[in-house]
Amino acid sequence: MEDFPEFMKREKNKVPSEQQNTRDIEGYYFEGKDGSQMAFWTYYSDRESKEQTHEFDEYTFCVSGQYIEIFNGIEHVLNPGDELLVPKGTPHRGKCIAGTRTIHAFGGKRIQKD
């Protein structure tokens, strides 16, 4: 597949641009009854995110392209099919190449909307 299915990209589930940690990406999210969330991001150009820290674990899965998660001074390179867990409280940032798609699961509420 070249893109996430349309049902995953409904406008009501779009991550507000002011809550993106990376410029010029498109993200959509879903929320569990316990407040945990999953987000699906598409990166249309080479990008680097600002550093962030969460009060919950973050699981990342690389669907396509290449995503690099940086924390504790180590670059963790994720290629399609690779996954990684960033423990809560860990400052981290990411880099990616154009065409990358990732899925992130958060153990808490990362996106605040309505």
- For the chain, domains (ranges, CATH) are 6-106 (2.60.120.10)
Query: Average pLDDT of 63-79?
Result: 96
Q: H-type helices in the chain, by residue range?
A: none
> In the predicted model, what is the mean pLDDT of the chain?
92
pTM: 0.90
Q: Which of 60, 49, 64 is nearest to 105 (CA)?
A: 60
Return the bridge partners of 60, or none.
84, 104
Please list, in sequence order, all residues whose beta carbon lies within 8 angstroms of the beta carbon of residue 105, skipping any fewer than 6 positions away.
Answer: 36, 37, 38, 58, 59, 61
- Which pLDDT does position 17 carry in this prediction? 77
Contacts of 96 (CB under 8 A, 6+ apart): 22, 43, 46, 47, 48, 65, 66, 67, 68, 102
Residue 33 has pLDDT above 90, yes or no: yes
Phi then psi for 64, rounded to 5 degrees?
Answer: -150, 160
Backbone angles phi, psi at 40, to 5 degrees: -120, 115
Closest of 58, 99, 64, 104 to residue 81, by C-alpha:
64
Query: What is residue 22's predicted lDDT score, i.e. its pLDDT?
Result: 72
pLDDT of residue 45 exceeding 70: yes
pLDDT classification of 114: cutoffs 50, 70, 90: low
Distance CA 73, CA 59 (A): 18
pLDDT at 105 over 90: yes
User: Across residues 51-73, what is the average pLDDT?
Assistant: 96
Mean pLDDT confidence for 73-94: 97
